[in-house]
Amino acid sequence: MSYKNPNILPRALSYEEKENRKKGIYDSFANYLVYCQKCKYVAKSNMYIQRAEAYIDELHEKGTVCPKCGENDWTLGYPLGKREKKHRKTVDAVAASLILEGYLGTL
C-alpha cells in the first residue's frame, strides 16, 4: 500500500452521510480516505468517493490486512480536522436542497 500518513486522523462517515451515499448524494469535491476501523490506520487518502470505494473493494478482494493490527476491516471516511464542521454544514445543506428539489418535483 502507499500514501500512508500517520498525521491524518480519520473520521467515519456519519449515519446521515451513509444514508445520503445510498441515495447517490455525496460531496463531489471532498477528499475521502480509506482506513482500518479497528486501529484507525490510514491506508490511502485524498481520493474522490468512487475511487475510495473501489480501493476498499480491491483491498477486500486481495485479502489485504492492515499492517498495524492485522485486520481486514477497511472503511471509507474523512480526515478529521478544523474545517470539518463547515464542510459538514455545506454537505448537509446540499443534501437538504436535493431532497427538497426531489419532493417539490413530485407535487
19-52 pLDDT, tens digit each: 888 888 887 778 889 999 999 898 888 888 889 9
* β partners of residue 11: 78
Rounded mean pLDDT of the chain?
A: 83
The string of pLDDT tens digits covering residues 65-100 is 999 899 999 999 888 765 555 666 777 788 888 888
Exposed e or buried b per residue across 38-49, where buried means at least 16 C-beta atoms within 10 angstroms of its C-beta: eebbbbbbebeb
Higher pLDDT, 2 or 36: 36
Higher pLDDT, 13 or 3: 13
